[in-house]
Every structure is written in structure tokens, then in C-alpha cells.
Amino acid sequence: MAARRTSFMDSFGVALDLGMRLAVPVLMFAFLGNYLNKRYGLGEGWILALILFGVTSGIWNVYKMLSKMVPIPTKARAEEQKDALKRD
């Protein structure tokens, strides 16, 4: 039971981290765009551009995190997997 709970908590932590890595840049750039619009009277296009930049930045952060978590298969490991599939 404890191993299952730990696995659930680890998964929950990863999901929460992924969500934060995506949401924080979007919100940060949205608030920055709103501030610039109120302070300097810039058009609404800047808010949309900064939100788009925040989304792009968030997706890049999630990609970097997931690429560290998922191992890259080596040639030897790929051959082992092919052999295992042939045996089945």
C-alpha cells in the first residue's frame, strides 16, 4: 500500500510541476502585457503577443522537463527490444 501511495504522490507531484511550468510563464507575460498597456497605452496586440510568448515559453519548459525524464533509447537497447518482440 505504501508503494502505491508513493507512486501516486510522485505522479501527482510531476503533474503539478508540469502545470506550474506551463501556467506561470503565461500568467507572468499576461500581467506584463496588461501592465504595459495600462502604463504606456500600448494596443491590445502586445497583450496577445506576450501571452503567445508565455505559452511558447511554457511549452518549452515542459518539453525540457519531459526530455530529462524519458530516457533516450540507445542502439543496443533498441536491438534488445526487437529481439524481445521476435521471441513473442
What digits encode the pLDDT tens for the residues 14-59?
899 999 999 999 999 999 999 999 999 888 888 999 999 999 999 9
pLDDT exceeds cutoff 80 at 2: no
pTM for the full predicted model: 0.71
Rg (CA), the chain: 21
First to last CA, the chain: 32
* Domain tally, the chain: 1
Candidate ranges 42-46, 56-60, 76-80, 81-85; pick with highest mean pLDDT: 56-60
**Residue 40, domain extent:** 2-87
- From the centroid of its chain, how far is CA 31? 20
pLDDT number for residue 5: 67
**Which letter does DSSP use for residue 41 in this model?**
-
